[in-house]
Structure 1
Amino acid sequence: MPLSRLSAFVAATLLATSASTALAQESAADRSNLTIGVGAAIVPSYDGSDDYTIIPAAAARGKVKDFAFWTRGTSLYVDAIPNTDPNGWDFELGPYVSVNLDRTGRIKDDRVKALGELDTAIEIGGFAGISKTGVITSAYDSLTFNVAYGKDIANAHESYVITPSLQYFTPLSVTSFVGTGVSAEYVGKGYGRYYFDVTPAGSLASGLPAYSRAGDDAGFKNVTVNLTAGHSLSGDLRKGWTVFALGAYTKMLGDYKRSPVVDIAGDSNQWIGAIGVGYTF
């Protein structure tokens, strides 16, 4: 099943939200915990597609002796700085790895399919960020900003991706929460060339016009906004079962949205919806 970086990130944000809210409410004595989630999402079949597919989604978030870790789709983050500040500040710094499956499988559009399946990119790098619990509405809401950098080591796009994101979550009560966020992707020349350019040979095979501008410069590929909501089935967000839902909108930008795989075969407006359940131990 093809799963783009964008689709993976947003679908799994849904699952990670309950974990984020639960962890924000844990007492300082709870140095280790784990939330896992599963769900389903309807997402574009590739970044820039106007065809949609239903995918499974899974995520985990937790901490071991104050060292936090979490997944976002096909990405894993490990925070090497322990979260011990009693005033609610959390500084994040650690390794990051992501598997990019965009256009590696079942592509619905025949023209894009004729361009051929792409190789899986494995991006390794790091991230840094800052989070504050107890910001606006209560002692338990949280605001987080971080930036991740990953470089492909699998000889696929052979370039880099920088992903800044800003997320805000607030519990409405002991049993429910809402959240919102915005993120973007800044990609290198090789990334744009690999996923969005159309070579003359590809043009002959697909009928799409040749296109080479996406690989001319690095730039912002897209921006995404999302809304999430959840409700505890156990009566307490800090433990037991939670159900949640997410909606998101992404806008492709610049030379990437002008690529024939988006402008002709797809759509620069991308929509995602997801539902799921999570369990906090």
Structure 2
Amino acid sequence: MNHRHFLAAASCLAAAAMTVPALAQEDSNSLTVGIGAAVIPSYEGSDDYRVIPIPQLRGKVSDFAFWTRGPGLYFDAIPNTDPNGLDFQLGPVVTARFDRSGLKNIKDDAVRALGKRDVAIEVGGFAGIGKTGVFTSAYDNLSVRVAVTKDVAGAHKSYVVTPAIEYFTPLSTRSFVGLGVSADYVGKRYGRYYYDIDAADALASGLPAYSDAGNSAGFKRVGVNLTGGVSLSGDLRKGWALFALGGYARMLGDYGDSPVVSIAGSRNQWAGAVGIGYTF
């Protein structure tokens, strides 16, 4: 699981709450659909929060896996058929970034005065490796993945690199817990688009002018999330299940120093989600 930006990154955290671990994915064909509600910052770097719905989808067709993460769709082009639980991952990803695209969702007057940003459509791929049966049982799973995407819609016109490490373990056939750590490395045009403030914007918003975020590429944020789930049918492999998630991220470097974050928002970013899913 992967993929983090923060309006979209918080959505991705909520997506992890809809993920059933290896215990529920033994069949070569499966489908889990879910719906949840997430509390996330009103924009990436905000200290105000809002509630958004999170629909989710995850499944396998002939051992080819696919899943959504917030507004993103992933497809693993390498089938998961290794009898020893080793899973090589490689495939395409496409996602949408809605950060600051709707001014009505921004509660801070100064950031609202900076104007809205266009929706970014980020297209790319991911690669990783996972192993089922690592520490606690034959069904726990440890995975490492890197996703690389680029905006093709002409919004920030830059790239995002997202490394992630995730661990899930079933506590029984009825419940599981998981822990994930991820980060975002972005190009300089990304920082310039979302975090720099020119003279005209400074005059309109009352925030000081700022240009450091667009000077170079760098790590924008690092985050950790804890997930858990319990089956209502008694078996995670079928039927209804409830999920919950809590996440924390920290804005880094010049991105965290931007007045959009340091004055109007906060480096500390929190997210939470609850949801329900059904596995066929």
Q: Confirm or deny: 8 A CA contact 1:19 1:62 kept in the other structure.
A: no
Q: Confirm or deny: 8 A CA contact 1:19 1:61 kept in the other structure.
A: no
The residue identity in structure 2 corresponding to 1:22 is: A
Equivalent in 32, 38, 42 of residue 41 of structure 1: 38
CA displacement, residues 104-160 of structure 1 (integer Å, 9 cap, x when unaligned): 012111100000010000011110000100000000000111100001100000000
CA displacement, residues 58-101 of structure 1 (integer Å, 9 cap, x when unaligned): 11111111111111101111011111101000000011111011
Q: Confirm or deny: 8 A CA contact 2:21 2:140 kept in the other structure.
A: no
**For residues 223 and 56 of structure 2, what CA distance do their matches in structure 1 show?**
19
Equivalent in 68, 92, 102 of residue 71 of structure 1: 68
**For residues 80 and 49 of structure 1, what CA distance do their matches in structure 2 show?**
36
Match of 2:234 in 1: 235
Q: How does 1:26-175 map to 2 (within 5 A)?
A: 26=26, 30-105=27-102, 106-175=105-174
The residue identity in structure 2 corresponding to 1:62 is: G
Match of 1:7 in 2: 10
Match of 1:22 in 2: 24
- Which ranges of structure 1 fall in alignment gaps of 5 or more residues? none
**For residues 187 and 198 of structure 1, what CA distance do their matches in structure 2 show?**
18
CA displacement, residues 11-59 of structure 1 (integer Å, 9 cap, x when unaligned): 211112x265511xx1xxx211111111101110011000000111111
Q: Confirm or deny: 8 A CA contact 1:131 1:142 kept in the other structure.
A: yes
Which 4+ residue blocks in structure 1 deviate beyond 6 angstroms?
Answer: none
**For residues 72 and 151 of structure 1, what CA distance do their matches in structure 2 show?**
17
- Which ranges of structure 2 fall in alignment gaps of 5 or more residues? 1-5
Q: Confirm or deny: 8 A CA contact 1:184 1:223 kept in the other structure.
A: yes
- Taking only aligned residues, the RMSD between alpha carbons, in angstroms, comes to 1.0
**For residues 201 and 11 of structure 1, what CA distance do their matches in structure 2 show?**
36
Equivalent position SS for 1:265:
coil
Equivalent position SS for 1:39:
strand
**For residues 23 and 253 of structure 2, what CA distance do their matches in structure 1 show?**
35
Q: Confirm or deny: 8 A CA contact 1:19 1:35 kept in the other structure.
A: no
Q: How does 1:220-231 map to 2 (within 5 A)?
A: 220-231=219-230
**For residues 110 and 23 of structure 2, what CA distance do their matches in structure 1 show?**
43
**For residues 18 and 54 of structure 2, what CA distance do their matches in structure 1 show?**
8
Equivalent position SS for 2:66:
strand
Q: How many residues align?
A: 273
- Percent identity of equivalent pairs: 65
Match of 2:258 in 1: 259
**For residues 12 and 34 of structure 1, what CA distance do their matches in structure 2 show?**
15
Equivalent position SS for 2:18:
helix
The residue identity in structure 1 corresponding to 2:91 is: G
Q: Confirm or deny: 8 A CA contact 1:247 1:272 kept in the other structure.
A: yes
What displacement does 1:4 show? 1.2
